[in-house]
Structure 1
Amino acid sequence: MTVAPITPLTPGDPQARISAALDGMLRDTPPTPPTLAARPDPLVAAVRAALESAASSQGGLSQLFADLGQALRRSDLPAAARTAIADLLALRTPLHPALGADDIRRAVQTSGLFMEADLAAAPAGGRAAPPGSPAPPPTDIKAALLAVGHELEQWEPPEADAPRQEHPAVQPGAQPAVDGARAFIAPPPPYRGAPTAAQPPAEPSIAADAPAEALAGRLTAETRAAIARQELHQLASLPEARGAERPQESLGPRWLLEIPFATPQGAAIAQFEIAHDMAGGGAGEQVAPAWRVRFSLDVEPLGPVHAQVVLGADGRAAVTLWAERDACAEQLREQSSLLRLALQDAAFAAHVAVYSGAPHRPPPPAAGVLVDRSS
C-alpha cells in the first residue's frame, strides 16, 4: 500500500472544517460514523481516510535507520538508492555536549513536519538546476524518506536472486523479521495529547547477507511505515477548532514531531510536542502566554528521560525532568543547578524539578479515535 503525501492546506472555511473534524477524531470522543443521510465533507473525508491509512501502517524511524545503515555496507545496492539513503542519514542531528538552541531549531525545521508548507511558500517555479547537474540533496526528512522510497521501488534484484515479490504491508505493532532476525515492535501511533515516546537506537534486523529481494522488500515496507508516521504527526499538528472555552485568538501552534539524533549506538529518535498558548486559560483565568515543550529521549547510559519545559512571557521558566533509571535521576539532580543558572543567564526566573520514574500517562485513546472501526 503506497502512502500518499499530504497536500498543503489553505486558510479559510476548508481549514476550519478539517480542524473541526480532527478535533473530534484526536480527542477522547470518537467521531460519529457518517451516514447516508449526512454525507461527510469531502475534505473531512479525505483527512479521515489519510488518518486511518497512516495509523494502520505507521512505523518508527529507529529501526529503519539501523537497517538502512546495514544496506549501505552492501556492494549490490544501486548507486541512486545509496545516495538517497546517505542523504537521509545525513539529516540526523549529532548528539554531543555542544548541542545548542540553533541545532534544535534547525532539527525542528527539517523534521518533515513542515515539508508541504515550505513547498507552498516557495517562489513559483523556484530556481532550476543547470541541465545535467545532480539534484540538490533533500533538506527535509519527509522529502528524504520519499526519495529513498522511490529509489527502493526502482531497485531490481540481481538475476541470480529469486523474482521480486510484492512488498507485504507493515502491520501495526510489529514488523516481520528477515532470515531469523528479531522482530521490531513499532512505537505507538502519535495523536494529539498523547504522551511523548522515545525510540532508542536499534540493531539491524536484516542479515548482512540477506537476499537482495528480501532486503529491498523490507526496506521499502519500513520506509512506507516511516512516511505514514510522518503523516500522523502532521495530522496531529493541524490547528484546533474554535470552542467556547478556547477562543481562536488564544490558540497558538501545537506541533508534534520527531528528531533523529546520531549517537555512537545508532539513531536515537526523540519525540517532541511544542505548543504556544497565546492568552488566558479560560473560565476567567488569565495567565501569561507561554511556550510549552515536552519531549522524550532514550540513549545509553541514561536510559529513558522525559522533560517538560514551560517558558512564560512573564520571564518565568519551569523545567520538570523524569528519569526512569534511579542512577540517571540522581545524576540529573546533581546537575540541575547548572540548568537553573543557564536559564537565569537567559533572563528567566527558573524552577527545576527532577523525579524518578515516568510522567503520568493518560489512558490510551478509545477505539475509533485513530481508526473508524464502524466502517
Structure 2
Amino acid sequence: MASEIPSSRPSPSIPSVPRPAAQAINAVLQLQSNLPTQLNIGDSAQAQVLALREAQHAFQVLLRLSLANGQQHTIEVQSKQPLAPGNILNVTALSTQQLAFSLLPTTQATTATRIDTALLAPGTLLEAKVVHVTPNAQGGFRITVSINNSALAGQQLQIDSPKSLALNSQLNARIDSAQQLTFQPLNTRLEPLAINQELQKQFSQQGSLSQLLQGLNTLSPSSISPSIEKTLQQLLSSMPEFSQLLDPKKLAQSLANSGAQLENRLLSGALENANQDVKANLLRLIAQIMPMLPSSNSALAASQSVLLSQALPGLLRDQLLGGSQVQLREQALRFPLPTRVLQAMDNPNDLGSLLRLAAAAVSRLQTHQLASLGQTHTNSEGTQVTVWQVEIPTRDQHNIVPLQIKFQHEEPAQKKSGEPPTPVWKIDLSFDLEPLGPLHIQASLQGGAFPVNSGRKIAPQHI
C-alpha cells in the first residue's frame, strides 16, 4: 500500500542536525559491551529506545545510537528505570562502561512532510511507530509517525494514507520518492532484543548433529519402542550422501528438509514431506523419549526445562547471561558455527543421554535460524541484506559429515541515475571431509561474474 507525504504546505526536509537536549531526569546507563570507538569519553549523542525487558533488579534496554558522523550502533544497556520503546535520549559517555542520559520530550521532535532523498535514497527501508492519526476532510487519514532507524531516527514524518493505522503500531515502509512511501509487510519482523537473547540461549545449549547421529548407532534396540525406532529410521534415511548434493534437485530438497522452513510449513499446512524434515524428526524423537524416562530420572527434569525453551523460542529467561552475553552473541553469529561437544553415550540403553543430545541438536538448528534473522538488516546506504543459514547432515561412506551453508543476498537501493541496481549473491560452505579435512569455501555472484575463493583449511572450532 502506497502512502503520500502531504504537500499542502511547504515544509523543510527532516533536518540531519541534532535536536537540543531537554531538561529531563538525569540517570546512568550501564553498558553491556564496550563503548563504540567513535564515541569518546565526554562526547554526547542521541539514542532511540528500540526494546525494553524487565530483568531481576533492573531493565535491559536496546538502544540505537546515532553519532555525529552519521553512523549508527545498536547497543545493549542496563537501566534502573523503564524506558519506553520509541523514547529519544541524549546520552553522554561518562566512562567506557557508563552513559549519562536525559529523556527528550516528544514535543521536541520535528515533524516533516517530505524526505530529503539526498540524505536517504529511494529504496531505503524505514521503520516507524504511529504516534498520531486524524481523518482528512477529503477522505483518508493524516498519520504522524516517529522514525526508528536510519540517520533520521527519532524524528517525525507526516503522511497521508487511504487506511487508518493503529496508534503505537509499528510499520515498515520503502522510500519511493521525496513524497511517497510504500508500506512493507511486518509478518516476519521480530524485535532485535528478543532475537539476540534467544540466539544467546539457543547457542549456549546447542550440540553437534554428528555426535547425536553417531550415538544412534550405539543404541540398543531393546531399549526403544517401535515408534522411536521408526522415527530414528526416518531421521537417518533423510540424510543424503555428500556426493548427491551435486544434483541441484537433491540439494534443493535437502535445503527444504534442513529444518529451517519447518515453522513456515506448519503455518501453511504443507506437511506432506514433514517426515523428511530433520528438525521435525528430532522434535518427534524427543516427544517419544520423554514418557519412557522414569520420573525419578534426574536427566528428565533438566531436559524438560531445556525442551520447553526450545519448543517456545519466544520465552526468554528471567535473567540475561550477564557479562558473557556479548561474547555469546558474537560466537553464535560466527560462520561456520562452532561445534559444542557433549558427553558421549557410554551406556547404549541411556535414553536420558539420547534425549540430551537430541535437545542440543534442535538448539543447534534453531541457532542457525536465529543467526539468519540476526544478520538480516538494511544498512545505512539502503542496501537490504538478507541471510539464510542452514546445516545439512550428510553421509560419506560410514562417516557423518554436517554441511554448513550460508546464503547472503544484497539488494542495493535505487541509484540516483535511475540505473537498476545490481544485486549480489554470496555463499559460504563449511564441511570436514576426509581426507581433505576442515574446509571453508566462499563464492559470490554479481553482474554475471562468479569469483570463488578456493577452499581453505580451517582449524576445527569447539566450545
Residue 8 of structure 1 aligns with which residue?
Answer: none
Over residues 22-74 of structure 1, what are the superposed CA-to-partner deviations in whole Å (9 max), with x where a residue is unaligned?
999xx996523465322579956654553343122111211011112322x53
The residue type paired with residue 152 of structure 1 is I
Aligned to 1:322: 455
**Is contact 1:276-1:292 (8 Å) kept?**
yes
Structure-2 change in CA distance of 1:93 and 1:191 (3 Å): farther
Deviation at 1:262, TM superposition (A): 1.1
The runs of 5 or more residues in structure 2 that have no matched partner are 1-49, 53-61, 66-71, 87-189, 305-327
Q: Which residue of 1 aligns with 2:76?
A: 31
Q: 8 Å contact 1:276–1:289 — kept in the other structure?
A: yes
* Residue 308 (structure 1) aligns with: 442
Q: Does 1:195 align with 2:335?
A: yes
The aligned residue for residue 156 of structure 2 is: none
Determine what percentage of the aligned residue pairs are the same residue.
Answer: 23
TM-score by length of 1: 0.59
- 2:297 match: secondary structure: coil
Residue in structure 1 matched with residue 173 of structure 2 by the alignment: none
Counterpart-to-counterpart distance in 2, 1:198 and 1:102: 29
Q: How does 1:155-174 map to 2 (within 5 A)?
A: 155-156=292-293, 164-167=297-300, 168=302
Alignment of 1:69-80 (within 5 A): 69-71=217-219, 73-80=220-227
Instruction: Determine helix, strand or coil for the equivalent of 2:202.
Output: helix
Residue 295 (structure 1) aligned with residue 443 (structure 2)? no
Which of 213, 228, 236 is the equivalent residue of 1:65?
213
- Paired position in structure 2 for 1:174: none
The CA distance in 2 between the partners of 1:156 and 1:236, in whole Å, is 33
Does structure 1 retain, via aligned residues, the 8 Å contact 2:401–2:431?
yes
Task: Determine the structure 1 residue equivalent to 2:376.
Answer: 240
Aligned partner of 1:104 in structure 2 is: 251
Q: Deviations over 1:124-167 (max 9, x none)?
A: xx89xxxxxxxx8623111111001111112247xxxx963334
* Cα contact 2:206–2:362 (8 A) shared by 1: yes
Q: Which has the larger radius of gyration?
A: 2
Contact 2:385 2:408 survives alignment (8 Å): yes
**In structure 2, what is the Cα distance between the partners aligned to 1:287 and 1:234?**
28
Aligned pair in 2 of structure 1 residues 105, 192: CA closer, same or farther (>3 Å)?
farther
Using the TM superposition, give the Cα deviation of residue 237 of structure 1 relative to its aligned residue in structure 2, in angstroms: 1.3
| Whole-angstrom CA distance in 1 between matches of 2:202 and 2:430 | 22
Aligned residues between the structures: 269
Is this contact kept in 2: 1:190–1:232, CA < 8 A?
no
CA contact (8 A) 1:23 1:240 kept: no
Instruction: Describe the shift of the 1:69–1:31 C-alpha distance in structure 2 as closer, same or farther (beyond 3 A).
Output: farther
Residue-by-residue CA offset, 1:283-317 (whole Å, 9 max, x unaligned): 999973121100111011111111012122x2111
Change (3 A) 1:28 1:74: farther
Structure 1 regions of 5+ residues with no counterpart?
1-15, 128-135, 171-187, 325-356, 362-375
Change (3 A) 1:282 1:307: farther
**TM-score by structure 2 length?**
0.49
What SS does the corresponding residue of 1:317 show, helix, strand or coil?
coil
- Cα distance change, pair 228–203 in 1 and its aligned pair in 2 (3 A): closer
8 Å Cα contact 1:257-1:271 kept in structure 2: yes
1:1-375 correspondence runs (5 A):
30-33=75-78, 35-38=80-83, 46-71=194-219, 73-96=220-243, 99-122=246-269, 138-156=275-293, 164-167=297-300, 168=302, 194-197=334-337, 205-207=344-346, 210=347, 212=349, 215-238=350-373, 240-245=376-381, 247=382, 250-279=383-412, 288-312=422-446, 314-324=447-457
> Is the 1:191–1:236 Cα contact (8 Å) retained in structure 2?
no
Contact 1:268 1:299 (C-alpha < 8 Å) held by counterparts: yes
Q: Distance in 2 between matches of 1:92 and 1:23?
A: 43
Q: After TM superposition, give the deviation of residue 323 of structure 1 in Å.
A: 3.4
State the structure with bigger RCO (CA 8 A, min sep 6), 1 or 2.
Answer: 1
**Higher relative strand content:** 2
Question: What is the rounded CA distance, in whole Å, between the counterparts of 1:144 and 1:190 in structure 2?
Answer: 29
Deviations along 1:309-362, one digit per CA (max 9) or x if unpaired, are: 2122x21111112332xxxxxxxxxxxxxxxxxxxxxxxxxxxxxxxx67xx9x
User: Secondary structure of 1:194's match?
Assistant: coil
Contact 1:92 1:267 in 2 (8 A): no
